[in-house]
Amino acid sequence: MTHLQILLIALILDYFIGDPHQIWARFPHPAVIMGRIISWVELRLNQGRFLRAKGIIAILALSVAAILIGWIIRWLPDFGLLELVLVTILLAHNSLVKHVNDVAEALKNSIDAGRIAVARIVGRDVAELDETNIARAAVESAAENFSDAVVAPVFWYLIFGLPGLLFYKLVNTADSMIGHRTDRYHLFGYGAAKLDDLINLIPARLCGALICLVHRSRSSFEIMVTDATLHASPNAGWPEAAMAATLDVSLAGPRSYQGKLSDDSYINPRGRRDMTREDITNAVLVLRKTWFGLTAIIALLVFLVWLL
């Protein structure tokens, strides 16, 4: 199988099957294995002096290891089957949609249930969130994580094959674990955070553009280009601005982290600020439509290569 064929099949398998709970209840998910390795390294190196240098060396060494593992698997004489399995596992459209939908379903029961559900997918304080802010948090997470969980993995796999995909997932996992501006991680996690920003630079913008493209909205594209830089993150603002414009809602704005209220600007401030669980459902529909658009592009590439 070619890389494009593997990617197309993996996208379809992930969409319909996702991550079977029965399997991961018995065996560790590859992302979990990456997380355990990162945690092991952090516990041993994140102490003493030269923490920033240690963190940079650690993320570079782990990245090289991920790339080498990808090359080894790539050359196994198994007709690409193991690579297909890994690519399917490391795409996460199905699980993303499930977690975002869980928030909408929880809000049907109560605000408290919604807070518990949204806490699983965002890092902000949730104890005081009302329905509007729960919905806003879920929609923001849907947009940002569609870039991280689908578009960026597809991009890096298209460019560098399985080594590129494993490299991306390793860095992205490290950033989610240690790339925080806390007393413990702000020095050691500096390298992981900056490298994650760099490798998401193109995918985040492609993700936002794809959302606008599949919804055939020039106005959404213009809002995305104008408002993406209002976000605190150099990358998350692009898919979030595209999502905000597509749904005609305002995203971001002031949020509380560890008891401290941020002064972040609203993205698409002209949009509707009162949000409900229906906006979460609509955001999921945006993700599904964008997934179909992305998959159609990959299918077209497979067809063109076959013709040639």
Tell me the per-residue pLDDT of 208-223, one tens digit each, with 9 for 90 and over: 999 999 998 899 999 9
CB 147 within 8 A of CB 238: yes
Residues 6+ apart with CB under 8 A from 305: 2, 4
Q: Which of 179, 153, 177 is nearest to 167 (CA)?
A: 153
Can you spell out the DSSP letters for 141-196?
HHHHHHIIIIIHHHHHHHHHHHHHHHHHHHHHHHHHHH-S-STTTTTTTHHHHHHH
Q: Residue 142 CB: number of other CB atoms within 10 A? A: 25
- CA contacts within 13 A on the Cβ side of 212: 22
Residue corresponding to tokens 């991306």:
168
Report the distance separating Cα 128 and Cα 270, nearest Å: 25
The Cα–Cα gap between 97 and 231 comes to 23
Joined tokens for residue 61: 């060494």
How sure is the predictor about 70, in pLDDT bands with cuts at 50, 70 and 90?
A: very high
Q: What are phi and psi of 272, to 5 degrees?
A: -70, 135
pTM: 0.95
Q: Residue 6 in contact with residue 66, Cβ under 8 Å?
A: no
Pairing mode of beta strands 251-252, 266-267: antiparallel
- Helix extents (H) in the chain: 3-16, 21-24, 30-45, 51-74, 81-90, 93-109, 111-119, 131-146, 152-178, 190-199, 201-214, 218-227, 237-247, 277-307
CA distances from 222 to 143, 151, 212, 225, 268 (A): 17, 21, 9, 5, 11
Residue 164: pLDDT over 70:
yes
Q: Model confidence over 29-57: pLDDT tens digits?
A: 899 999 999 999 999 999 999 999 999 99
pLDDT score at 259: 65
Please write the tens of the pLDDT for every residue from 9-31.
999 999 999 877 777 778 888 99
Instruction: Answer yes or no: are the C-beta atoms of 212 and 290 closer than 8 Å.
Output: no
Q: Which two tokens stand for residue 67?
A: 């790339």
Q: What is the pLDDT of residue 21?
A: 75
Q: What pLDDT sits at residue 27?
A: 83
Note whether 19 and 29 are within 8 A (CB). yes
| Residue 218 in tokens | 């020039």
